[in-house]
Amino acid sequence: MGTIHKILVIGAGAMGSQIAMVAAAAGYRTAVQDVSTDMLVQAQGQLTARMQAKVAKGSLSRAEADTALGRLEFTSSLPDAAADADFVIEAATERLDIKRSIFAALDAAAPAHAILATNSSTLGSSAVASSTGRPEKVCNMHFFNPALVMKCVEVVRHPQTSQETVDTALELARSLGKSPVLINREIPGFVANRLMGALRDEALRLYADGVADFRDIDTAAKTALNHPMGPFELMDLVGLDVSYLIRQATYDQTGDPADLPHPLLKDLYDQGSFGRKTGQGWYSYDAR
């Protein structure tokens, strides 16, 4: 792997901020860039609180937490942050037009050797690689929520991704303490979200058909299958907006009506009940 000194994460939402924290905790100088200073302030506050909680729990020393947080830079300037980045992970909004303009800006600002990865769960990286002059250095690097905890990272190649880029992304993921999985071709949902989607679809069907309450379906997943969360709790954690948009994007790619978001998911999405982040989803959450 070419030496990686600095990692840049684009987007200070739940995924971007935690991916950046993982990188900083693994010893990389890391920048998080977002156009919204509010998002940057919020991300900094949440990550500091997460690190403090780990110190209080004894899973991290105060010095380790301070050093990791000290390696993190929060900035709104993409060109400045990209100028000396060796590896970029884009975790911005799941909108193709926004991602394409980010990749064009990254291509202009980042050193020629830098790899540009997207955390997108819905868009194969070929959709953004074509807005750069370095498609062979572009791939997906898909983390899971919460990124500080979940071990899986899906590395997805597109037809022009070079073997060197794939190897570097896999090795970077390992150096972050993750277990990378290589996906050889772009397919909607990659692997893990397809598995999760199959379970979620069945759970929604059972609930919609009145077979069981959603709370009981969650209980069955946890106590019969040993899943850490039931499918409805997981939708609330991931975000009903994210779950809805993933499904809509899959439908947009396949045109198969079976891929449309379930009407119950659409109802919650239309109401703005996005799960934990809004305090209301399948379950209600105390305001923080």
Cα-based torsion angle of the residue sequence 238, 240, 241, 244 in order, rounded to the nearest 10 degrees: 110
45 binds ligand 3HC, rule: CB under 6 A: no
3-state secondary structure of 98: helix
Stretch that binds ligand 3HC, among 100-108, 138-146, 176-184, 261-269 (CB under 6 A): 138-146
Q: How many C-beta neighbours within 10 Å does residue 198 have?
A: 11
Q: Is 121 a catalytic residue?
A: yes
Stretch that binds ligand 3HC, among 36-44, 48-56, 105-113, 197-205 (CB under 6 A): 48-56
Q: How far is the C-alpha of 165 from the C-alpha of 169, rounded, in Å?
A: 6
Contact predicate 21/31, CB 8 Å: no
Q: Is 184 a catalytic residue?
A: no
**From 17, 90, 131, 142, the catalytic residue:** 142
3-state secondary structure of 7: strand
55 binds ligand 3HC, rule: CB under 6 A: no
What residues form DSSP beta bridges with 155?
A: 141, 182
207 binds ligand 3HC, rule: CB under 6 A: no
Q: Is 113 a catalytic residue?
A: no
Residue 228, both tokens: 């850490």
Strands 29-33 and 152-156: unpaired
Indicate which single residue of 228, 255, 257, 263 sits in contact with ligand 3HC (rule: CB under 6 A): 228
**From 90, 94, 154, 186, the catalytic residue:** 154
250 binds ligand 3HC, rule: CB under 6 A: no
Indicate which single residue of 44, 76, 145, 160 sits in contact with ligand 3HC (rule: CB under 6 A): 145
Q: How far is the C-alpha of 75 from the C-alpha of 120, rounded, in Å?
A: 21
Strands 138-143 and 152-156: antiparallel
Stretch that binds ligand 3HC, among 66-74, 106-114, 139-147, 203-211 (CB under 6 A): 139-147
Count of residues interacting with ligand 3HC (CB under 6 A)? 19
Stretch that binds ligand 3HC, among 34-42, 47-55, 83-91, 199-207 (CB under 6 A): 47-55
Q: How far is the C-alpha of 137 from the C-alpha of 153, rounded, in Å?
A: 18
Q: Is 142 a catalytic residue?
A: yes
Q: Mind telling me the catalytic residues?
A: 121, 142, 154, 193
Binding-site ranges for ligand 3HC (CB under 6 A): 50, 53-54, 57, 59, 121, 144-146, 148-150, 193, 196, 228-229, 234, 238, 242
